[in-house]
């Protein structure tokens, strides 16, 4: 069985920002998911480069993806360009954080 993009997204949706009650996928922190027969690469960012729990969260993200990657090596690539902003959040995240109708 092959790991799909939907499998990876499902795994990413189980990881929540510790300060915001929204998962990292809906926050728009994940920029790309690349799946090959050699590895799964998740390219992502954080809301701030000074996040005190960055290392812990990166480990949680990698472990969540490993759980669905069916033995394929997983790499999480952290990038800062483009910088994250509120417009990257899903509509569901905006509703959860009450950032609708001009609230952001």
Each residue's pLDDT tens digit in the chain (104 positions)? Answer: 678 999 999 999 999 988 888 999 999 999 999 999 899 999 999 998 998 999 999 999 999 999 999 999 999 999 999 999 989 999 989 888 888 765 54
Residue 24 lies in a domain: yes
Residue 97: inside a domain: no
Torsion sign (Cα): 80, 61, 11, 7 = positive
In this structure, what DSSP letter does residue 83 have?
P
With respect to residue 32, please indicate whether it lies within any of the assigned structural domains: yes
Confirm whether 19 is domain-assigned.
Answer: yes
Residue 23 lies in a domain: yes
* Residue count of the chain: 104
Distance (Å, whole) CA 43 – CA 76: 6
Which CATH number characterizes residue 44's domain?
Answer: 3.30.300.130
Q: What is the pTM of this model?
A: 0.90
Q: CA–CA separation, 26 vs 32, rounded Å? A: 13
Domain count, the chain: 1
Contact 62, 1 (CB under 8 A): no
Report pLDDT for 69: 96
Residue 21 lies in a domain: yes
Element of type H or E holding 100? none
Residue 96, domain member (yes or no): no
Domain with 18, as residue range(s), is 5-81
């Amino acid at each position: 069985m092959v790991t799909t993009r939907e499998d990876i997204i499902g795994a990413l949706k189980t990881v929540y920002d510790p300060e915001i009650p929204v998962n990292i996928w809906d926050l728009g922190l994940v920029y790309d998911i690349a799946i090959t027969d050699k590895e799964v690469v998740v390219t992502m960012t954080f809301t701030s480069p000074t996040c005190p729990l960055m290392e812990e969260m990166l480990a949680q993200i990698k472990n969540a993806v490993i759980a669905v990657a069916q033995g394929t090596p997983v790499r999480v690539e952290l990038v800062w360009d483009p910088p994250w902003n509120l417009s990257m959040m899903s509509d569901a995240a905006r509703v959860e954080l009450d950032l609708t109708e001009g609230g952001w």
